[in-house]
Structure 1
C-alpha cells in the first residue's frame, strides 16, 4: 500500500499547483505533466495486478491445505521427561491366554504345572477350558544423563501375582558396569529357552528373577563376564548369605553364541548348613537367516530355587540336620523356523532327571510328591497380521514319573493341552 499511497500523495501535491497555474504554463510543461500522470497510473495498475496475483496464490494454497490436511504431530521421536529430569519410554502388551486341558494339573492355574500333575487315574483335572489376561504387561525404561555418565533404570509389571494381583517383574537401575535391583537371574536367564506360548516355559528352562547386585566386564566385543550376588528367595532355607553366580558369554560368530554359568549358595536350617551349587550351559545357533536352534542344560545339587519344576533341594531329620540333597540334570532344545514375515513356528523338547538317592527319597513319607523324571514336547505357530499383533497356537504333551505309586499303582502323571494367545504390543 505504501507503493500506492505515496505516489498518489506526491501526485496530488504537484498536480494542484500545476492546474492552478495552467494558464501561465507552456505547452511543453503541460505535456511533461501529462506523461508523469500517465506513468503514475501505470504504477498503480501494476501494483494492483501484483496484489491480485498474491491473493490468488494465497487462496490456492489454503484450498490445497483444506483438501490435503497434514497428519497430527506424533509423539514418536519426542523426548519425554519425568519431574526429576529423566528421559523415559513406555512399552508393554495386552495379552489374552486360553487353554483347553485334556489332562493336567489344578483347574485354578492355566500355565505349566507338569511337576504336580495327578498320577494316572487319581482325580486329575481333565476336559477344562481356562483363560486369563494376567500376563498383560506394562513397563517403563528410564535414562538420566549425568556428568559421570548415564544412569538407567527399568520398571516392569504384570498381573501374575496371587489372585491376578499386580507384581514386579523387573525393577532396577544401571550405572556403568553395575546393575542393582531385580531382573533375570545371572545363573538362570531365559535367553536360551525355545519359544513357547506358556508364560512359565517348559521343563529344562528357567525364568527366574532375583534381587541382585551385578557387575559386567567386557574382555572383547565377543566376550564378557557377568558376576552377581543374588537373593534366590528360597523358602526352604534361612537366608544368611547371598547366592554367588557367574556367567561367561562368548560370540563365536554372527551365527553362534554360548553362555557358561555357575552358581553357589548356602542352605541353612536352625541346626545345619550345606553348600548347594550348579552349572549351566546355553547356546543359540542361527542355522540360516530363517532357522534358529536353542539349547540349555543344567546340573544342580541341593537347590530348588533357580531352575523350575525341580524336587525340593534338601531334606532334614527331626533335629533339622540336612541329611540328603536332590541332584538333577535338565535340558531343553528347540528349533524355530521363520516361514514368512508373518508366520513362524517352534518345535521343542525338555527333560529333567533326578538322581535315585535312597537317603533323599526315603525321607519323604509321600513319595508320589517327588519326581524321578519329567519331560514335555511342544509345537507352536505364531501369526502376525500386522507388526504389533501376534496370534499363537500351541500343543504340549508331557509326563512325570514319581518315585512312589498312587493308590491304584500308577507312577505316571500326564499333561495334555492346547493353548492359544492373542497379544498386542505397544
Structure 2
C-alpha cells in the first residue's frame, strides 16, 4: 500500500472523529473551519508524496541513460572442446592450366603439371602442348590450443592433395592427402614440421597458381626444433645430402643449423638468415663429407599505401635443395670419391599493385645460377629463370578469381635449353 493511500485513509478517519467531537462542542462555523484545515493539510501531504515519486523516476531514467552500453559478446575464433579451442579452415582451389613446352613433355602423373617446378622443364624433345583441370591444391588444416599455466600450448596440422601417388585421371580422380605442416608450439619453442627457418614466407609472391617464381626462392618445409627470442630465431633442422652423381644420401649425423634475425616495422619486414650444413655420404666401403653454408636476405617492403615489393636474395655452397625446389644439388662426387659442395646463387623480385576495389596485379622475375664442376659434363642444369604476370580479383568475400601467364627457361652446361609457357585460370574459396 502506497504512502499516499495510507495518509488518505488515516486522514479520513481523523476527519470523522473530529467531526463527531466538533458536533458536540462547537458551532457549525467552527466545524467547517476545522474541516477545511484538515483538507488543506491532506493536500499538502499528497503534493509532497507526488514530488518524491517524480524525483525517483528522474533518477532512474538518468541512471539508465548515463550507464555505459553493455560490451558486445566476444567473438570466438574456433570452438571449445573441454578446455581446448579447435579451429578448422583451408580453401578449395580449382585450376585450369594450358601449358606449352618447347622441347619435350611432362608426364601426366607429374606434380610439375600442377605448378611450376624449374628442374622439370624438358630439354631436347619435341614441342608439346596440353591442358589440365585440377583441384589437388585444395587444402585444409586443424589447429588446437589450450592454456598451460600462464601460457598456451598450440598445435597445427595441414594437408593438401598435390603429388598424390594414389589417384589418376581415368575415372574418379581420387587423390590422397599429403602432409604439409604438423607442429606444436609452447612459449618460445616450436617442434615439428614447419617452413624452414631459413625461409621468409612473406617473400612468396601472390599468384593464381599454387607457386610461382620458385627458381631463386628459398622454399623448404621440414621437421625441426626452433627457438625464438625476440627478433632472433635459432633452429636445428632435418639434414639430407643430395648429390648430382651419387643420388640422395641420408647418412648425416649433424642436423642443419639455421640462425635468423627478423626486422619488422611500417616499412614491412626483412629477414637475414644463415645456414650451416654437414654434407655426408657413406658408400659402405668409404665415406666422405663436406661443409655447406648459405646466406639469405628476404622480405616484403611496402611501396606507398598499398603496393608492396617482395624479394629474396640467396647464395652459398651446398645449399642445394633449399633453393629452386632442388633445381640443383648440394654436392657432387669427384673422380677421387670426395664430396664437393656446389656453389649457387639466385633470387627473386615481385611487385604487387592493387587497383579498383578488390583487384590487384602481381608480377616479377626469378633466377638461379649454378657453378657446377667441369667433370660433370654438359648435361647438368646451369641456370633456371622465369617471369610471370597475374591479375587477381575478389568477386565475393573469400572468393578469388585469377589469371596468370608464366614463361620459364632451363639451361644446361652444354648451352642447350628448353622453355615452358603456361596460362592459368584459378578459382579459390577460402574458409
> 1:412 offset after TM fit, Å?
1.4
Match of 2:80 in 1: 81
> 1:379 offset after TM fit, Å?
0.2
Structure 1 residue 115 corresponds to structure 2 residue 119: yes
Task: Name the CA distance, whole Å, in 2 between partners of 1:304 and 1:375.
Answer: 16
What's the TM-score, normalizing by structure 2? 0.73
- Distance change >3 Å, CA 75–CA 132, structure 1 → 2: farther
- Distance change >3 Å, CA 158–CA 254, structure 1 → 2: same
Structure 1 residue 244 corresponds to structure 2 residue 247: no
Matches within 5 A, 1:61-76: none
Does the residue aligned with 2:202 lie in a helix, a strand or coil? coil
Match of 2:146 in 1: 144
CA contact (8 A) 2:208 2:392 kept: no
> 1:342 offset after TM fit, Å?
1.5
Match of 1:106 in 2: 106
Task: Name the CA distance, whole Å, in 2 between partners of 1:283 and 1:166.
Answer: 30
> 1:131 offset after TM fit, Å?
2.1
Match of 1:95 in 2: 93
Aligned length: 332
Match of 1:350 in 2: 366
Matches within 5 A, 1:182-331: 182-202=193-213, 203-218=215-230, 224-234=231-241, 236-237=248-249, 238-251=251-264, 253-270=265-282, 271-309=287-325, 310-317=327-334, 320-322=337-339, 324-331=340-347
CA contact (8 A) 1:189 1:208 kept: no
> 1:78 offset after TM fit, Å?
7.4
Task: Name the CA distance, whole Å, in 2 between partners of 1:289 and 1:337.
Answer: 10
CA contact (8 A) 1:377 1:396 kept: yes
CA contact (8 A) 1:232 1:305 kept: no
CA contact (8 A) 1:269 1:321 kept: no
CA contact (8 A) 1:107 1:130 kept: no
Task: Name the CA distance, whole Å, in 2 between partners of 1:88 and 1:337.
Answer: 35
- Distance change >3 Å, CA 166–CA 138, structure 1 → 2: same
The gaps in structure 2 that reach 5 residues or longer are 1-72, 166-174, 243-247
> 1:114 offset after TM fit, Å?
2.5
Structure 1 residue 404 corresponds to structure 2 residue 402: no
Match of 1:160 in 2: 162
CA contact (8 A) 1:390 1:423 kept: yes
Structure 1 residue 395 corresponds to structure 2 residue 405: yes
Task: Name the CA distance, whole Å, in 1 between partners of 2:77 and 2:293.
Answer: 48
Superposed CA RMSD in Å reads 2.2
**Deviation by residue 1:268-289 (Cα, 9 ceiling, x = unmatched):** 1111011111100013211112
Does the residue aligned with 1:362 lie in a helix, a strand or coil? helix
**Deviation by residue 1:39-76 (Cα, 9 ceiling, x = unmatched):** xxxxxxxxxxxxxxxxxxxxxxxxxxxxxxxxxxx997
Task: Name the CA distance, whole Å, in 2 between partners of 1:354 and 1:414.
Answer: 18
- Distance change >3 Å, CA 78–CA 342, structure 1 → 2: closer
Runs of 4+ more than 6 Å apart: none
Task: Name the CA distance, whole Å, in 2 between partners of 1:226 and 1:397.
Answer: 36
> 1:383 offset after TM fit, Å?
0.8
342, 349, 356: which is aligned to 1:340?
356
Task: Name the CA distance, whole Å, in 2 between partners of 1:248 and 1:397.
Answer: 34
The gaps in structure 1 that reach 5 residues or longer are 1-73, 219-223, 406-410
- Distance change >3 Å, CA 148–CA 340, structure 1 → 2: same
- Distance change >3 Å, CA 336–CA 204, structure 1 → 2: same
CA contact (8 A) 1:153 1:172 kept: yes
CA contact (8 A) 2:342 2:370 kept: yes
Structure 1 residue 424 corresponds to structure 2 residue 422: no
